[in-house]
């Protein structure tokens, strides 16, 4: 081989080194290279998938008219309640002769009865627009004009002038198996209606698809069937296109803004609106995104480990190259190039995989957002080029970080170190010093106490918490190096079995690679166990909360799924009739109203409690009010939920000004209660007060206490018989339901952790394969000494178990701290929930068992497969 002098031809030597040091090895060990790329790909994929799924899950939020007629320029909406339609004439008047188009929209929630298997119905969004005027919007927008034609045959009943006609999208028809002219029995607001599907709207070509739960009606028809006569939810405003657009927009916007401000209404762009709504779930989605980086973090350790192995294996070659005059810098660059190429290949694979994975995650994320935050419908997952590029870069950086230290080590190879194969390779120097881990840990504890970063409008980001988690994880991965000797002793206990003893001897002499592998495992285990602590704490808190809260015998709600966006109600005449059924002693009643408070959604609840002091809703108090009892709210005070109190830094004694349709109302906070059911924040006042503010006597929920000696089941049957549309559940059923929903919200989290652990265990297999490859001479010796293939597999298994034990121990140890960070720092800061710390020991045993068993199996398999490796001398 001729190596040109580095100074004369620096360009070409890179190629020579690349082919000599990297490419040929890749070709020789395609499986190893593929596994590395695969690990990176999986890490990138999970990261990208969560980001894409996050996007798709909330993209369907709210502004349904966008799908039908394109995006509006401005939105005008009241802070609470509805507009009267008369404001439209005012708006036309103030905009004068300017060509401004106003599209009134009435948006209501409803439900369709889908049969016994889904008794709570499924939540629908009814949107009423002026079906005549909306054509002007469509006609104006050139690109929107084509392809949305809805044709109908002559002689059919029309859409206008009837109250029962509705239009749905293709997705709706598919999901519910309905076709044109089918009839739908639905619940709108507080009444039942029988609608005819007058047409199926095709999805528009270049706008978001029509949401799956959207039912479109002519505005006056929806007003009539819902009982919201003369009311509209919001007004969408559009400015026509043309050369004078800017001037018209500026002048008209100014007038509209002044008008809105004077009346306390909100004027915003659709982007603002979307941003402010999606911000509600920002913390949740950010937490997911960060968790999704976990797989990549685990991946970094494994890549580092594998590249360390490669350096060790090729050290002889490097030494020769060095003695031939190749500079350390050139060696380093070559290794970094390897890392970069690996990162690129893994990244590209990861993008493909992530795109697929996202499909599976969307549903779970959307379900959680729906339950906890606001109504969203999922959009098709799209591969946003920006997101793909971001993930690719992220993967590349991870790969380079992983490659940095092995590259440095390769570059440090002295020329004289000729051909001394099998030297115990490198590892980070600091990785070998377990006390460094303690230092990192101490730093983590310190950082955890930093206050949260606050973004506008009450969104908090617990930077300190995340930083502390990262430091703790790093600390654990260093510290666990110190665990190898004791575990080696444990495994080599007694002087029994030859292979176990041999494995223990290998563990006593661990290199950086064992440590890195165990570190990767500890990160995965640590985070998973910490999440398990969080879930357990959450569940424990929730269970006792539910236990305290749910004291009634029966629960009745308007139909629709358990979503904060469910605005379905029971009309006064209905709920009063219901409560007069025999066997009912009394009830707690609640009405809910969504209003906009300081730019965010807030629920105002109007509660009236059963007058039996021993039998009425008992809240779990964070700050207990002076008076607790059925009539405590009747004096006009307010109780606020914990997320509200935390977000706006309010406490008992503070005064609040709430937007209501009858004008701003001031109340004094008398208590703060725990509420794990929604993150939006709730202000509870007496129902009497809410009725007055909102001019509404309907209720959304009833908690019913049956008379002593009456079978709740019998009362339930009589309610169902009389009001089949309502969702009626026994106490027990509601508890089950609550826990089920709770677990559903963590489904995605579980999946992310499982992936991280799988990656880590796969990494263990990879590391062992590398180690065995390096020890091929030793394997030959073992065989010569009469060790069977199974003996060698067993040795690998014991060694793998040792690594897994160290990773597991480090991970579990750090998980207690991480759990504390999640519960004590991150959760209150970003969600506003106080939780009681609980450790799921059973879960830990299970996690440990599964991890050890899998690690043993993987290690044994790797050992068995590699037991017959030919030694160098046989080649």
Partner 1 sequence: MKALQVSRVTKSYGSTEVLRGVSLSLEPGERVALMGPSGSGKSTLLNCIGGIDRPDTGTIEISGVALGGLDEDGLCRVRRETVSTVFQFFHLLPTLSVRENVEFPLQLQGLSVKERDARVDGLIEEVGLSHRASAMPHELSGGEMQRVAIARALAIEPRLILADEPTGNLDSATGEAILDLLASLSERHGIAMLVVTHSPQVTRICRRTLEMRDGLLLGQEE
Partner 2 sequence: MKQHEASTRQGKAGYLTLLGLLLVFAGAPLASAEEWNVPRVGHRLEFPRDHGSHPDFKIEWWYLTGHLFAGERRFGFQATFFRLGQQPVEVPAGEDFGTEQLYLAHMGLSDPETGRFLHEERLNRGGWDAGAMVGDLDVHNGNWTLRREGNDLLLEGSIRAEAALSLKLVPKKAHVIFGEDGISRKGPEGTASSYYITFPRLAAEGRLELDGVTLDVSGEAWMDHEISSSQLDEDQIGWDWTCIQFADGREIMGYVLRTKGGGISEYSKLVWIDRDGTMTHVQSGDYRWSHEGIWKSPDTGAAYPVSPLITTRDPADGRERRLRLVPLMEQQEMTGGSGGVSYWEGACDVIDEDSGEAVGRAYLEMTGYADDIGQKLR
> Given the rule CB under 8 A, which residues bind partner 2?
85-86, 88-89, 92, 95-102, 130-136, 138-140, 145-146, 148-152, 154-163, 167, 198-199, 218-221, 223-224, 229-230, 239-245, 247-248
DSSP for residue 310? H
If you search the block for the tokens 């310190």, which residue do you land on? Answer: 446
Partner from partner 1, partner 2, none binding residue 784, C-beta < 5-8 Å depending on class: partner 1
Min dist CB 39 to partner 2, Å, is: 51
Q: Given candidates 780, 839, 843, 857, which one binds partner 1 under the rule CB under 8 A?
A: 780
Residues in the interface with partner 1 (CB under 8 A) total 25
CA 476 to chain CA centroid, nearest Å: 26
Report the C-alpha gap between 83 and 677 in whole angstroms: 29
* Distance from C-alpha of 725 to C-alpha of 570, rounded to nearest angstrom: 10
Quick one: 4 or 139, whose CB is closer to partner 2?
Answer: 139
> By C-beta, is 500 or 592 nearer to partner 1?
500
Query: Two tokens at 80?
Result: 């609470």
Residue 750: closest CA among 619, 641, 617, 840 = 840
Of 504 and 532, which has the nearer Cβ to partner 1? 504
Question: What stretch of H or E contains 770?
Answer: helix 747-774
β-pair partners for 556: 702, 728
Q: Name the residue nearer to partner 2 (CB basis): 15 or 230.
A: 230
The residue among 92 and 420 lying less far from partner 1, judged by its C-beta, is 420
DSSP 592-640: EEEEEETTEEEEEEEEE--S-TTSS--PPEEE--S--STTGGGGS-EEE
Given the complex with partner 1, which of 534 and 782 has the nearer CB atom?
Answer: 782
Given partner 1, partner 2, none, residue 139, with its beta carbon under 5 to 8 Å by kind, binds partner 2
- Between CA 158 and CA 274 the distance in angstroms is 34
* Chosen from partner 1, partner 2, none, partner binding at 241 (C-beta under 5 to 8 Å by type): partner 2
Compute the least distance from the CB of residue 486 to partner 1, in Å. Answer: 17
Choose the contact partner of 157 out of partner 2, partner 1, none; CB within 5 to 8 A by kind. Answer: partner 2
**Per rule CB under 8 A, is residue 313 in the interface with partner 1?**
no
Q: Which does 318 bind (CB under 5 to 8 A by kind): partner 2, partner 1, none?
A: none
Name the minimum Å distance from CB 782 to partner 1: 8
Query: Exposed e or buried b for every residue in 137-164, given b needs 16+ CB within 10 A?
Result: bbebbeebeeeeeeeeeeeeeebeeebb
C-alpha count within 13 angstroms, C-beta hemisphere, residue 777: 6
Taking CB under 8 A as the rule, does residue 772 contact partner 1? no
Q: Which one among 184, 782, 796, 804 touches partner 1, defined by CB under 8 A?
A: 782
User: Least CB distance from residue 441 to partner 1, whole Å?
Assistant: 30
Rounded to the nearest angstrom, the gap between the alpha carbon of residue 501 and the centroid of all alpha carbons in its chain is 46
C-alpha to C-alpha distance for 560 and 88, rounded to whole angstroms:
31
Q: Name which of 205 and 423 has its Cβ closer to partner 1.
A: 423
Which one of partner 2, partner 1, none interacts with residue 785, CB within 5 to 8 A by kind? partner 1
**Minimal distance, residue 495 CB to partner 1, in Å:** 6
Q: At its nearest, how many Å lie between partner 2 and the CB of residue 73? A: 11
Q: Residue 180 or residue 697: which is nearer to partner 2 going by CB?
A: 180
Q: Which of these ranges, 212-220, 554-562, 782-790, 840-848, lies near partner 1 under the rule CB under 8 A?
A: 782-790
How far apart are the C-alpha atoms of 180 and 681, rounded to whole Å?
41
User: From the CB of 571, what's the least distance to partner 2, in Å?
Assistant: 21
Residue 123's nearest CA partner among 106, 109, 137, 102 is 109
Q: Tell me the HSE value of 848 on the side-chain side, using a 13 A CA sphere.
A: 16
- Cβ proximity to partner 1: between 386 and 786 the closer is 786
Distance CA 168, CA 151 (A): 14
Task: Single out the residue of 98, 313, 433, 789 in contact with partner 1 (rule: CB under 8 A).
Answer: 789
Q: How far is the CB of 400 from partner 2 (least distance, A)?
A: 51
Burial (0-12, 13-18, 19+ Cβ within 10 Å), 695: exposed
Rounded-to-5 percentages of helix, strand, coil across the chain: 55, 15, 30
Q: Please, what is the minimum distance in Å from the beta carbon of residue 130 to partner 2?
A: 6
Among partner 1, partner 2, none, the one that 96 touches (CB under a kind-dependent 5 to 8 A) is partner 2
Binding site residues, partner 1, CB under 8 A? 422, 495, 497-498, 501-502, 505-506, 508-509, 777-778, 780-789, 791, 873-874
């Amino acid at each position: 081989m001729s190596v040109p002098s580095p100074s004369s031809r620096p360009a070409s030597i890179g190629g020579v080194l690349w082919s000599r040091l990297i490419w040929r090895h890749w070709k020789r060990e395609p499986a190893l290279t593929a596994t590395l790329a695969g690990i990176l790909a999986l890490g990138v994929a999970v990261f990208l998938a969560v980001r894409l799924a996050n996007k798709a899950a909330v993209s369907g939020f709210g502004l349904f008219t966008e799908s039908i007629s394109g995006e509006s320029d401005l939105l005008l909406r009241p802070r609470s309640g509805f507009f009267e339609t008369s404001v439209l004439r005012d708006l036309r008047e103030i905009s004068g002769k300017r060509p401004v188009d106003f599209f009134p929209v009435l948006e209501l929630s409803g439900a369709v009865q889908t049969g016994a298997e889904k008794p709570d119905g499924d939540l629908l969004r009814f949107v009423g627009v002026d079906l005549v005027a909306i054509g002007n919007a469509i006609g104006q927008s050139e690109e929107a004009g084509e392809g949305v034609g809805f044709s109908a045959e002559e002689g059919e009943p029309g859409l206008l002038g009837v109250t029962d006609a509705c239009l749905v999208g293709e997705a709706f028809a598919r999901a519910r198996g309905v076709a044109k002219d089918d009839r739908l029995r639905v619940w709108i607001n507080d009444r039942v209606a029988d609608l005819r599907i007058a047409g199926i709207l095709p999805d528009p070509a270049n706008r978001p698809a029509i949401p799956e739960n959207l039912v479109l009606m002519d505005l006056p028809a929806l007003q009539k069937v819902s009982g919201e006569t003369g009311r509209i939810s919001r007004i969408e405003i559009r400015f026509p296109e043309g050369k004078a657009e800017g001037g018209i927009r500026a002048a008209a916007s100014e007038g509209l803004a002044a008008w809105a401000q004077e009346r306390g209404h909100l004027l915003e762009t659709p982007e603002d609106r979307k941003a402010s709504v999606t911000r509600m779930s920002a913390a949740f989605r950010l937490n997911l995104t960060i968790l999704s980086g976990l797989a990549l973090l685990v991946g970094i350790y494994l890549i580092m480990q594998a590249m360390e192995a490669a350096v060790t294996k090729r050290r002889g070659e490097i030494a020769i190259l060095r003695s031939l005059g190749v500079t350390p810098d050139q060696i380093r660059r070559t290794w970094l190039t390897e890392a970069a190429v690996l990162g690129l290949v893994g990244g590209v694979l990861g993008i493909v995989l992530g795109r697929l994975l996202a499909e599976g995650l969307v549903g779970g994320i959307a379900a959680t957002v729906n339950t906890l935050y606001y109504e969203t419908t999922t959009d098709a997952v799209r591969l946003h080029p920006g997101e793909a590029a971001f993930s690719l870069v992220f993967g590349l950086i991870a790969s380079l970080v992983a490659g940095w230290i092995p590259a440095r080590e390769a570059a440090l190879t002295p020329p004289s170190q000729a051909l001394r194969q099998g030297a115990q390779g490198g590892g980070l120097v600091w990785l070998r010093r377990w006390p460094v881990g303690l230092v990192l840990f101490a730093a983590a504890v310190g950082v955890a106490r930093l206050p949260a970063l606050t973004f506008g409008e009450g969104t908090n980001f617990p930077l300190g918490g995340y930083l502390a988690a990262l430091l703790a994880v790093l600390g654990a991965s260093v510290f666990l190096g110190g665990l190898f000797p004791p575990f080696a002793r444990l495994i080599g206990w007694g002087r029994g079995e030859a292979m176990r003893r041999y494995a223990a001897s290998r563990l006593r002499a661990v290199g950086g690679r064992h440590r890195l592998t165990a570190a990767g495992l500890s990160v995965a285990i640590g985070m998973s166990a910490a999440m398990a602590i969080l879930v357990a704490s959450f569940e424990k808190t929730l269970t006792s909360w539910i236990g305290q809260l749910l004291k009634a015998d029966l629960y009745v709600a308007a139909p629709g799924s358990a979503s904060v966006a469910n605005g379905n109600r029971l009309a006064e005449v209905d709920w009063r009739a219901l409560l007069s059924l025999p066997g009912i002693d009394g009830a707690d009643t609640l009405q809910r109203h969504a209003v906009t408070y300081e730019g965010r959604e807030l629920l105002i609840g109007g509660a009236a409690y059963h007058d039996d002091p021993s039998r009425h809703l008992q809240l779990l108090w964070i700050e207990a009010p002076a008076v607790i009892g059925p009539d405590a709210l009747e004096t006009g005070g307010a109780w606020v939920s914990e997320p509200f109190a935390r977000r706006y830094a309010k406490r008992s004694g503070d005064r609040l000004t709430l937007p209501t349709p009858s004008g701003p109302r001031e109340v004094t906070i008398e208590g703060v209660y725990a509420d794990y059911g929604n993150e939006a924040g709730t202000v509870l006042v007496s129902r009497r007060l809410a009725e007055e503010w909102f001019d509404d006597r309907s209720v959304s929920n009833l908690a019913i206490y049956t008379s002593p000696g009456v079978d709740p089941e019998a009362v339930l049957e009589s309610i169902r018989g009389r009001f089949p549309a309502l969702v009626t559940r026994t106490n027990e059923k509601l508890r089950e339901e609550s826990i089920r929903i709770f677990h559903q919200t963590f489904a995605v989290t579980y999946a992310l952790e499982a992936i991280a652990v799988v990656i880590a265990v796969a990494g263990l297999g990879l590391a062992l394969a590398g180690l065995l490859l390096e020890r091929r001479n030793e394997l030959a010796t073992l065989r010569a000494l009469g060790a069977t293939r199974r003996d060698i597999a067993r040795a690998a298994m014991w060694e793998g178990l040792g690594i897994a034990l160290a990773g597991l121990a480090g991970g579990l140890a750090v998980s207690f701290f991480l759990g504390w960070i999640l519960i004590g720092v991150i959760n209150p800061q970003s969600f506003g929930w106080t939780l009681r710390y609980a450790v799921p020991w059973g879960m830990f045993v299970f996690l440990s068992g599964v991890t050890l068993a899998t690690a043993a199996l993987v290690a044994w398999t790797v050992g068995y497969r590699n037991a017959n490796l030919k030694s160098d001398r046989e080649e």
